[in-house]
Amino acid sequence: MSTLTTNVYPVWRGCLLLIRRSPSDMNCPGMWECPGGHVDVACGPVDSVLSRKEALRELKEEVGLLVKPEDLIPLKRSSTTSTHQAYVLPLKGAQPPHIKLSSEHDTFRWLSMGSHIKESPMRREVFSFIIRNKKAVR
């Protein structure tokens, strides 16, 4: 089965980058999420150069971040038939990176992984990532 969607969880100093869909966006307006979307080129069911390239394309399109493919850490798939490939992107630096949102999004924030989640509505996979990784990414 091919990978059809991808996303990246950018983490800086224990905080996860969340972006909110524009109220005028036709796809889930007002929804908090992480950068990602549909792949333009079908990728195999495992982490690959092609799947990383598609994840990086979405990252650049949605938040303007440019990083190297080797900076991405693949997340373990929940099943072998999954059509989604996700990555964690650990970011370094004294200051958070500059974020340049696409027209699909209207705001962003860095959510402390240890804080109470107030952002709603939030994509289910993002909420699950936060719950599973609260201590691991600090």
**pLDDT per residue as tens digits for the range 53-102:** 999 999 999 999 999 999 999 988 655 557 888 999 999 999 999 999 99
Do the domain assignments include residue 80?
A: yes
Share of residues in the chain with pLDDT > 70 (%): 91
Per-residue pLDDT at 33? 95
Strands 84-91 and 3-12: parallel
Q: How many CA atoms lie within 13 A of 57 on its CB side?
A: 13
Whether residue 138 is contained in a domain is answered as: no
Pick the closest to residue 61 from 104, 5, 111, 9 (CA basis): 104
Contacts of 16 (CB under 8 A, 6+ apart): 9, 10, 34, 110, 111, 113, 126, 129, 130, 137
Determine contact, residues 115/130, Cβ cutoff 8 Å: no
End-to-end CA distance of the chain: 34
CATH of the domain at 51: 3.90.79.10
Q: What angle (nearest 5°) sits at the alpha carbon of residue 66, between those of residues 65 and 71?
A: 105
The answer to whether residue 30 sits within a structural domain is: yes
What pTM does this model have? 0.90
The CA dihedral of 93, 50, 81, 58, to the nearest 10 degrees, is: 50
Rg (CA), the chain: 14
Q: Is residue 115 situated within a structural domain? A: yes
In a domain, 20, yes or no: yes
Residue 108 is assigned to a structural domain of this protein = yes
State yes or no: pLDDT of 21 exceeds 70: yes
Instruction: Print the domain residue range for 73.
Output: 3-133
Give the ranges where the chain is alpha helix by DSSP (H). Answer: 49-63, 124-133
The number of domains in the chain is 1
Q: What percent of the chain has pLDDT over 90?
A: 58
